[in-house]
Amino acid sequence: MIPVTKPFLPPLEEYYKLVQSIWERQWLTNNGPLVNELELKLKEYLNVPHLIYVTNGTIALQIAIKALGLKGEIITTPFSYVATTSSIVWEGCTPIFVDIDPNTFNIDPTKIEAAITNETSAILATHVYGNPCDIEKIQEIADRYNLKVIYDAAHCFGTKYKGKSIFEFGDVSTTSFHATKLFHSIEGGAIITKDPDLLKKMAYMRNFGHDGPENFNGVGINGKNSELHAAMGLVNLNYIEDILSRRRELFAYYDKKLKGLKKTTQSLLPESEYNYSYYPIVLPSEEFLFKIVKILNDHWIYPRRYFYPSLNTLPYVQLQNLPVTDDISRKVLCLPLYHTLSFEEIDYIARLMLRVQNN
């Protein structure tokens, strides 16, 4: 079977060595030494001033929204994973969807201004599939209307814009280290900000608001992650260059093999370095997509309709008419892409897909 993704698994001995050290210390969670080491190494690797390691990418979003004190309406993208929208609703705010750009699949900055009202407090945008949003245009609008900017950068480990980690942009960026992501710690996530006061506030929030054993600094939640998770992150970080370069090769191989297939692909933001975290294609019609999915599934290959359905159709939000998102989400397919996928498997996938087109 070829699934859409498989988690990267490092050599077991390397993980085991760290687990052994955890047994020796008998320190399993609560800001342990491996969590601290992972935070340091991630800051170094990403070249960002501050970073908080948390339980997952969803709690990272919730803490960001809470720490910025956002109220009312948050302008967001309908083309993302459900956690982007659900976090807004969970924090008592209202998501206002703005349609996406048909080429980049990111929120269309030219449509943001029309959605701003007196109730708007922030823009929460996703760098879809690791392709940076139009950061400069979004920041310019946010500055003009005094809005906060949060980026859901869950797909973006290793992505750069103008030579800097994409995590540096916005008031806060959040990311996910879930097992399906390019870099992972089984479950995990991070919050990145350049603002030291905001950082401090979010660090308290991660640990119930604890300021020492008997004092509390504001309301908090449990966003801590464990030593076992940090250990997986530390071992995986040793392989990050392998992971990134393998994906680049596989991505280029798909491009070559699928040249003859009728499809459109994502346009990347100029001056950015992409991480090849997904292989999305937009097919000419949903009907054609169903045919492709059928032939692949018949051969035990499971691409994913990611993201489908678009988030403006969730049962707990106000339905909005967003023609570009509706169209793309019906026709987009992410093909299998993971570290141990082989060129032969890509040959096979491409051959089956081209067979549908030529029949």
Ligand X SMILES: *Cc1c(COP(=O)(O)O)cnc(C)c1O
**Binding residues vs ligand X (CB under 6 A):** 56-58, 80-81, 83-84, 126, 152, 154-155, 176, 178, 189
CB 253 → ligand X: shortest distance, Å?
24
CA distance 338 to 161: 24
190 versus 301: smaller Cβ distance to ligand X = 190
**Beta carbon nearer to ligand X, 151 or 161:** 151
Instruction: Report, in Å, the least distance between residue 57 CB and ligand X.
Output: 3
24, 28, 30, 31: CA torsion to nearest 10: 60
Could you tell me which residues come within 8 angstroms of residue 290 by beta carbon, excluding any fewer than 6 positions away? Answer: none
Contacts of 315 (CB under 8 A, 6+ apart): none
Selection from 194, 186, 183, 182 nearest residue 225 by Cα: 186
Closest distance to ligand X from the beta carbon of 255 (Å): 23
Measured from the CB atom, the residue of 130 and 220 that comes closer to ligand X is 130
- Specify the DSSP element, H or E, that contains 139: helix 135-145
Q: Report the residue number, 86 or 193, with the smaller CB distance to ligand X.
A: 86
DSSP 310: -
Q: Which of 66, 148, 160, 181 is catalytic?
A: 181
Catalytic residue check, 181: yes
Place of tokens 């859901």: 152
DSSP labels, 173-212: EEEE--TTSSS--SS-EEEE-S-HHHHHHHHHHHBTTBSS
Shortest reach from residue 156's CB to ligand X, in Å: 9
Catalytic residue numbers read: 181
